Structure 1
Amino acid sequence: MSHAHSHPHPHAASRRRLALALILTGGYAGIEFVGGMWTGSLALLSDAGHMLTDSAALALALFASAWSQRPANSSNSYGYARAEILGALVNSLLMLAMIGWIVFEAIGRLLRPSVVNGGGVMVIAAAGLGVNVLAAWILSGDSHNMNSRAALLHVLGDLLGSVAAIMAGAVIWLTDWRPIDPLLSLLVAMLILRSTWLLIRQSSHMLMEGVPAHLDMEAIGRALAKQPGVQSVHDLHIWHLGPNRIALSAHLVITEPDHWTRLLATCQAMLAKDFLIDHVTLQPSWFTQRSGHVIPIIEQAEKPHAHDHAPHSPHPLHRHSH
């Protein structure tokens, strides 16, 4: 059994972005909350609530990013890379809870409209918009990272909330039509619901060790089976080690044991180049077992049977020679 893997790059830049965004959003969340209470605006209060949960989300993302870099040990042989996936899932669930709260409050405001200071809402929300734009720009530089993307989703939700609050403040200031405040809050909630749900599904799929969505398991199996010297591929598994690392394990039935070292290197290079899989475990065998005894290679060559090459899997991937 052989392995091939590389070490992940440091996440120092990601942590700096998360820390800076945390300072920005956390610092302004309190100001916007006080402003929402003063003006009586649900849009502003919901935006402040977003920023407060953003601060918690960014703190969680920062913690997960740091925790994921802990080295592997005897109790966690793969290390802690999945801490970032877990952080993304928790952040997404927090966002889902926040959406539920906004919808509940908006319906209540539609049934019982309250007085809103439109001018004050516009001023405070405009400042919040600037903070959110800056935080989103900082985090967008690391959007390939699932943990950072979950935090970015919170900030983008805030950004939309700030825009909605500005629009609500302007309408109320000009027309005194107060239902616009909860209506726009509902619109923001619906806009961010889809992205939140997609991230929940993606992080859950990774934690369940599902095949990465961008990879075709059958195509990878066929690519392995096409390598010269491979008769069949069994027990193929592909999963995420972390947000940016993919692992593969498989059992290969080969024709020439003496050529295994060269074949292993060829398979590893192909998987890394064509599919960006950098942690590979391949188990070779050049015999099958029937009734407790080993079938010699010569007998296997003289009497090929499809079921002889698939003792462990009902659907092996075979390579046919012409």
Structure 2
Amino acid sequence: MHSRPTEEWQPAHGFGQTVRRPVERRVHAVIALTIVTMIAEVVAGWLTGSMALLADGLHMGTHAFALGLAALAYILTRARALDRRYSFGSGKIGELAGFASALLLGVSALVIAGEAVARLFDPRPIAYGDAIMVAVIGLIVNLASAALLGLDHHHGPDDGHDHHHGHGLDTNARAALLHVLADALTSLAAITAVGLAWMTGWLWADPLAALLAAAVILKWSVDLGRQSAGVLLDRQAPDAMRREITAALESDGDSRVIDLHLWSVGHQAWTLVAAVVTHGDAGPDDYRARLPGRPDLHHPIIEVNRCRGDGPEHE
């Protein structure tokens, strides 16, 4: 029997999810800005009788809900970070929130597209002054929100980079950013199209611009959903990272990696299960010591298979 309590041999159950990230405070600031704008538009719409202002104020409420989802995900991620009931930590709570936001973005794009198609076949008069005023307010608020979320540190909604490796926005923050960018895009499209319709009388310009904006938002939704779903479904890490790990484990020239599972368990958090075959006497701890010194690699498990004269041995 061991003379030391078994608790001393247990590794810490941490996957880098206990730290409060700076982007959290920016998400809270954007929620506050959105709620203030929502209240101001609803009150102004009620007092002036402007349905455009009232409708946009109510729309801001759905926007605040989506952002609140992101804020709640951060709180739950930290609260459950050390809970051993979650085998690989709580990092996927943010991915789940990101996937939900992708669905909300997709639904909003389809609603916009449906309304735009209806307006193409049945043009309606536009209250040009009110429409442009609301669109300008929305554009200003959403550009300010994008700046608060750190747009200057982001490569764009679809930059093709792996946002779980490096210092980019995590999926949850990216989802919040995409919501404000989607609103900014629809506001910009509305300003352009309504202004054109006001000058020329081309009522079809407004729904056509809305259709184009809906198409862009739908693409963002699909990209965000694909990214978050990949983490939720334990998609393998990028090839470059897999090659780096394989090369490290095979660095003695004798060992060969025969099985490798390397996947994300949250933002900047990876875990590893690998099997190697060798003629040497190196043990699992020796192979773990060969791994790159990555602070984002947690709880690596290495199985060692030894080639002996009478067949393989496992360790």
TM over 0.5: yes
Q: Distance in 2 between matches of 1:180 and 1:40?
A: 21
Q: 2:61 corresponds to which letter in structure 1?
A: L
Contact 2:194 2:206 in 1 (8 A): yes
- Aligned residue for 1:246? 270
Q: 1:184: how far off?
A: 1.3
Q: Measure how far apart 1:248 and its partner are.
A: 1.1
Q: Which residue of 2 aligns with 1:69?
A: 78
Q: Structure 1 residues 221 and 26 mapped into 2: Cα distance closer, same or farther (>3 Å)?
A: same
Amino acid at match of 2:171: M
Please name the residue that 2:231 is paired with.
206
Q: 2:67 is matched with which residue?
A: 58
Residue in 1 aligned with 2:145? Answer: 135
Task: Say if 2:17 and 2:89, in contact at 8 Å, map to a contact too.
Answer: no
**Structure 1 match to 2:306:** 286
* Superposed displacement of residue 35, structure 1: 5.4
2:197 to 142, 155, 172: 172
The range that moved more, 18-27 or 199-208, is 18-27
Is the counterpart of residue 25 in structure 1 residue 34 in structure 2?
yes
| Identity level (%) | 29
Shift of 1:309: 5.8
Q: Secondary structure at the residue paired with 1:284?
A: strand
Distance in 1 separating the partners of 2:132 and 2:98: 32
When residues 281 and 73 of structure 1 are mapped into structure 2, their CA distance, relative to the original with a 3 A threshold, is same
Distance 1:247 1:8, change over 3 A: same
Which residue type is aligned with residue 216 of structure 2? L
TM, length-normalised to structure 1: 0.77
The number of aligned residues is 287
Shift of the 6–97 alpha-carbon distance from structure 1 to 2, 3 Å rule, reads: closer
Q: CA 1:309/1:54 → structure 2, altered by over 3 Å: closer, same or farther?
A: farther
Q: Which moved more, 1:113-122 or 1:81-90?
A: 113-122
Partner of 2:125, secondary structure, is coil
Residues 1:111 and 2:121 aligned together: yes
| Deviation of the 1:50 alpha carbon | 5.8
What is the match of residue 187 of structure 1?
A: 212
Tell me what 1:80 maps to: 90
Structure 1 or 2, whichever has the larger Rg, is 1
TM-score scaled to structure 2, two decimals? 0.78
Q: Deviations over 1:3-42 (max 9, x none)?
A: 797634622422211111111123324555775996676x
Q: CA deviation at 1:66?
A: 1.1
**CA distance in structure 1 between the aligned counterparts of 2:216 and 2:273, rounded to whole angstroms:** 40
Check conservation: 2:17, 2:91, Cα contact below 8 A: no
How many Å apart are 1:224 and its aligned residue?
A: 4.1
Partners of 1:230 and 1:10 lie apart in 2 by: 40
1:226 has 2:250 as partner: yes
CA contact (8 A) 2:15 2:298 kept: yes
Give RMSD over aligned pairs. Answer: 3.3
5+ unaligned residues in a row in structure 1: which ranges?
Answer: 288-296, 301-307, 312-322
Post-superposition CA distance 1:233-263 (Å, at most 9, x none): 2331011111221111112233333666444
On the 8 A contact 1:119/1:169 being kept in 2, the answer is: no
Distance 1:35 1:121, change over 3 A: farther
Q: Check if 1:125 corresponds to 2:145.
A: no
Q: Which moved more, 1:119-128 or 1:85-94?
A: 119-128
Amino acid at match of 1:165: A
Structure 2 unaligned residues grouped into runs of 5+? 1-9, 155-168
Q: How does 1:138-157 map to 2 (within 5 A)?
A: 138-140=148-150, 143=154, 144-157=169-182
Instruction: Name the CA distance, whole Å, in 1 between partners of 2:279 and 2:217.
Output: 54
* SS in structure 1 at match of 2:264: strand
Contact 1:29–1:49 (8 Å) recurs in 2: yes
Give the Cα–Cα distance (whole angstroms) in 1 for the partners of residues 133 and 237 of structure 2.
45
Seen in structure 2, the aligned counterparts of structure 1 residues 210 and 155 have a Cα distance that, compared at 3 Å, is same
- Secondary structure in structure 1 of the residue aligned to 2:118: helix
Matches within 5 A, 1:258-277: 261-269=285-293, 272=294, 277=297
2:19 is the counterpart of 1:10: yes
Does the CA contact (< 8 Å) of 1:136 and 1:155 recur in 2? yes
